[in-house]
Structure 1
């Protein structure tokens, strides 16, 4: 990885520079001097820019840049990590990142990948069941059609979720708003492997890891179906802003099973998840 300093060269999608970042922020009432904008390049050529942002301003600044990603070609993410840390290679076991890795991930049908991961997680869970009765109880929750029957009726409106809940950020008032050279948030796991990272995800008996392409598939599917956008990222922790969460029992049940298969750490029972966070505007993930 190489760090480029305070400025990045003009790119062919809008000439985003430290000065341009500073000017846009200033135009919207946020003071970010050009010298406070840092940049880095990953070993696989993915550029990252970033600047400090107050936690109280983070959501508004993130939305400001999200609304301009089609023009800039850069996707915003809130994180405790400065650009050089995001552009590092924290998980070499996951393979190289970059444009070729992203192209391969996007070439796959996201629903097929999600189905594959869900099936692996279900097999793993049933293999650990104590007996047939335990396995049948798990199936009541892991088969969406069964789970839906235990859920409340369709909600009129989504619940307002808390994007900051359970994040160990301490008392520091500032985070980083990092801009990644990506058009969509679901591209980032392939461009920067290890963000997010799921080192404890392992499926037996298939022996399957959760790979960058899997993250791309889940985030892409949820973006297309529910308007989910990547908001916060810090290694094994992730937050999504979900604009159209599933509100009916059938859709909420399917999403809850996908959530369980993708990241089961610190999740409540699936009926609670499907009737609660799944129907909210903030989804939380932590691979503990």
Structure 2
């Protein structure tokens, strides 16, 4: 359920510190540049990887004269962190220009920037917030709601998402990574379809009841002692390749799958309204943010993952939401819970 910004190196080379795996031991299992054809489940068993050592600072000794006490089981999980901590990264570096080419030749004069803006595009609002984004186009339009998009390199994708998300309260535009452009050649009809008011329908859905019903439909998940190492990674699958950055005018990212709506999981009978209800629930509980929405993948950034006391219950919700998780690299519900205790990147794919 996991899988990371601004140079031409491999995507993970320039990833910000807060997006790196919390243990340096996991560097060897990060996705490589060759994994570009299709996102893969990011929970994989690694037999030769030792479990992550517990940080010493989580169980400080009672005094300098006494030996350090053993950590209690409730003390080994992620401590509380400031809200929106991921949104404090540095701004992306400007692109490199050919030698001998000045800024004036590469960039339009300030008085000419309005001429590049298409009516209704987010560029003017983003520029007022200090973000000079490339010229963009309408990707999908449904009634009075439009999704705009521009192309991003894999090395820049997460930085652009962070920058635009950080300014969203000021601009009114929420970002979402959309994956490969070829998935949108038909103006999104392969991923987005016309329908009723899914966002309005979401208001009448009780997410807890919905997840309870879907859990019964999914059946009893595999259970057992976890064999996967506990990981604290923050790597995402979608930014591992070049793609599109989408922008939607809304005050909450969890609304986006219902605004068009998204149908990547129609084989599990989840539509835009159901996604909005469940993502809203996790946003309220864990500050979960929608990062990516491709043909059949949703990825969330989760600043405050569940603690040990609720991890198994949240894993059960995740299984009810996407039963394919336990068919694609996560052997048991306990493994899923172990991962969700610390992971800030939640990956869902409906096959």
Short-chain TM bin = 0.5 to 0.7
Number of aligned residue pairs: give it.
229
Which position in structure 2 is the counterpart of 1:181? 249
Does the CA contact (< 8 Å) of 1:114 and 1:217 recur in 2? no
Which one has a larger percent strand, Structure 1 or Structure 2?
1
Determine which of 258, 264, 286 is the counterpart of 1:226.
286
Partners of 1:280 and 1:45 lie apart in 2 by 37
Kindly state the Cα deviation for residue 70 of structure 1 after the two structures are TM-superposed.
1.7
Does the CA contact (< 8 Å) of 1:227 and 1:243 recur in 2? yes
Check 1:57–1:24 CA distance in 2 against 1; reply closer, same or farther (3 A cut). farther
Give the alignment's TM-score, normalised by structure 2: 0.57
Aligned pairs for 1:228-267 (under 5 A) are 228-248=288-308, 250-267=309-326
Partners of 2:169 and 2:219 lie apart in 1 by 41
Which position in structure 1 is the counterpart of 2:261? 193
Kindly state the Cα deviation for residue 17 of structure 1 after the two structures are TM-superposed.
4.0
The yes-or-no answer on 1:270 pairing with 2:333 is yes
Partners of 2:233 and 2:191 lie apart in 1 by 33
Greater shift, 38-47 or 56-65, is seen at: 38-47
Which position in structure 2 is the counterpart of 1:18? 123
Check 1:51–1:168 CA distance in 2 against 1; reply closer, same or farther (3 A cut). closer
Kindly state the Cα deviation for residue 163 of structure 1 after the two structures are TM-superposed.
0.8
Does the CA contact (< 8 Å) of 1:62 and 1:231 recur in 2? yes
SS at match of 2:304: coil
SS at match of 1:276: helix
Check 1:124–1:259 CA distance in 2 against 1; reply closer, same or farther (3 A cut). closer
SS at match of 2:156: helix
Check 1:280–1:20 CA distance in 2 against 1; reply closer, same or farther (3 A cut). same
Determine which of 204, 211, 218 is the counterpart of 1:108.
204
Which position in structure 2 is the counterpart of 1:37? 136
Partners of 2:143 and 2:350 lie apart in 1 by 25
Which one has a larger percent helix, Structure 1 or Structure 2?
1
Partners of 1:79 and 1:102 lie apart in 2 by 20
Does the CA contact (< 8 Å) of 2:154 and 2:239 recur in 1? no
Does the CA contact (< 8 Å) of 1:86 and 1:192 recur in 2? no
Partners of 1:278 and 1:192 lie apart in 2 by 32
Residues 41-67 of structure 1: CA distance to partner in whole angstroms, max 9, x if unpaired?
Answer: 523321112212221121121111111
SS at match of 1:161: coil
Partners of 1:24 and 1:191 lie apart in 2 by 26
> Gaps (5+ residues) in structure 2?
1-115
Check 1:90–1:116 CA distance in 2 against 1; reply closer, same or farther (3 A cut). same
Give the alignment's TM-score, normalised by structure 1: 0.68
Which position in structure 1 is the counterpart of 2:188? 88
Does the CA contact (< 8 Å) of 1:39 and 1:50 recur in 2? yes
Does the CA contact (< 8 Å) of 1:232 and 1:238 recur in 2? yes
Which position in structure 1 is the counterpart of 2:95? none
Over the aligned positions, Cα root-mean-square deviation in angstroms equals: 3.3
SS at match of 2:142: coil
Residues 117-146 of structure 1: CA distance to partner in whole angstroms, max 9, x if unpaired?
Answer: 3333324415xxxxxxxxxxx5x95xxxxx
Structure index of larger Rg: 2
Does the CA contact (< 8 Å) of 2:161 and 2:176 recur in 1? yes
Determine which of 169, 194, 209 is the counterpart of 1:70.
169
